[in-house]
Amino acid sequence: MAMTRFEKIFVNRERKGQRNIQKVRSRLDQLPVENLHNTLELGCGIGSVSAFLSEDYQMSVIGTDFDPAQIEIAKRTHPEKDGLRYQIEDASNLSFEDGYFDLVVSQNVFHHVPNWKGAVHEVSRVLTTGGYFLWFDLTFPKFIVELFQPFVKNYGLYTFEAIMSQFVENRLKELHHERSLFAHHLVFQKIG
């Protein structure tokens, strides 16, 4: 789902991009980055994290976003080059082949995806066995989900238990979890 103008003002700030980079860097410090070559960023926005992964870790990165305007900004802000490209994608219906990526990164994206269960499936499908998934996002209390689900069609609403069930069902094993109120930072590995 494309973000509102207000949401773009908030998420497209340089300071927000730097915080996102720091979160990703702290998780990558725990992983065998020398084995991570093909990387997918879901919801890349203006491309700060994708460019960082390409430049600092020499990964081949594809930054994707559902919003064509965000992709255009990413291309202007962090131009495409060898090891960095952008494309418009629906996280719940990706165009990539099975098992192509060693690493998938998603920061605050799934709550913008109405078919978040489909997005979990797609991440597992495009991730190679043994590959890693960095998921930073929000979950909601059960009463919020039950109250707003009938009215909210363009956002993903899920409890922590519901989305974790989907991760497990799609062979994503939790390796690390940090939580602050409704925000979660999780690292998964795809198992066979």
SS (H, E, C) 75-107: HHHCCCECCEEEEECECCECCCCCCCEEEEEEE
- Give tens-digit pLDDT for 80-129: 999 999 999 999 999 999 999 999 999 999 999 999 999 999 999 999 99
Going by pLDDT thresholds of 50, 70 and 90, the confidence category of residue 192 is confident
Structural domain tally of the chain?
1
What pLDDT was estimated at residue 22? Answer: 95
| Lowest-confidence pick of 15-19, 73-77, 85-89, 178-182 | 15-19
Say how far residue 9 (Cα) sits from the centre of its chain.
19
Range of the domain at 14: 5-190
Q: 71 pLDDT exceeds 80?
A: yes
Q: Are 145 and 159 in contact (CB under 8 A)?
A: yes
CATH number at residue 122: 3.40.50.150
Helix axes 160-169, 116-126, angle to 10 degrees: 30
What pLDDT was estimated at residue 1? Answer: 55
Helix axes 68-77, 48-57, angle to 10 degrees: 40
What pLDDT was estimated at residue 130? Answer: 98
State how far the Cα of 122 lies from the Cα of 93, in Å rounded to an integer: 7
